[in-house]
């Protein structure tokens, strides 16, 4: 990439090196590939084998999962294998690379899970002043992180969230995969 050229980043980070492009002769910056120990992916659904379906903005979830030593998928719902097989193009993460499946509805909050609930913009707006004030931050952590047993209790403390953020229905057209 050309992004590091003209900056002090290569001086600060010895992992940034340069190579000459064999096609153009341009000098480019390189970094080693990431190999995380664990990647945690949040998705809409998976089956018991870990075949995981995602739709909406995909980001680099697939690449992160395949680069990782271990993969944990957190899903809104566990579905039967027949549901996964009925719509194979949504299967982003194959079960053969998944080490664990965690079913945790609303597990992406305050972010979103397309088709399940929207992004909680109010949370993000309110978070900035909380995160800048050590006392407010500690109060938040005491109430919503250390002060709850699990995600279900976190959600129970905010009953308005489900109604306010629940996604409406907008179905995509069906696809004929043939037989």
Give the chain as a 3 state SS string.
CCCCCCCCHHHHCCCCEEEECCCCCCEEEECCCCCCCEEEEEEEEECCCCCEECCCCCCCHHHHHHHCCEEEEEEEEECCHHHHHHCHHHEEECHHHCCEEEECCCCCCCCCECCCECCCHHHHHHHHHHHHCHHHHHHHHHHHCCCCCCHHHHHHCCCHHHHHHECCCCCCCCCCCCC
pLDDT in tens, the chain (179 residues): 887 777 888 889 999 998 999 999 998 989 999 899 999 999 999 999 999 999 999 999 999 999 999 999 999 999 999 999 999 999 999 999 999 999 999 999 999 999 999 999 999 999 999 999 999 999 999 999 999 999 999 999 999 999 999 999 888 877 777 77
Which residues on adjacent β-strands are paired with residue 28? 19
Q: What are the structural domain ranges in the chain?
A: 38-104, 118-168
pTM of the model: 0.83
């Amino acid at each position: 990439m050309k992004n590091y050229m003209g900056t002090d980043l290569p001086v600060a980070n010895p992992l940034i090196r340069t190579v000459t492009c064999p096609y153009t002769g341009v000098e480019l910056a390189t970094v080693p590939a990431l190999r995380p120990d664990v990647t945690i992916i949040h998705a809409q659904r998976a089956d018991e084998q870990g075949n995981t379906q995602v739709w909406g903005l995909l980001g680099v979830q697939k690449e992160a999962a395949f680069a990782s030593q271990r993969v944990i998928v957190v899903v809104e719902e566990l579905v039967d294998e027949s549901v996964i097989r009925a719509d194979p193009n949504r299967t982003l993460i194959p079960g053969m690379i998944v080490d664990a499946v965690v079913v945790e509805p609303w597990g992406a909050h305050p972010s979103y899970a397309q088709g399940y609930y929207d992004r909680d913009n109010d949370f993000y707006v309110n978070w900035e002043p909380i995160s800048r004030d050590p006392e407010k931050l500690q109060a938040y952590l005491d109430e919503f992180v250390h002060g709850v047993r699990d995600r279900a209790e976190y959600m129970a403390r905010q009953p308005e969230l489900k109604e306010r953020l629940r996604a409406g229905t907008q179905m995509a057209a069906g696809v004929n995969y043939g037989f």
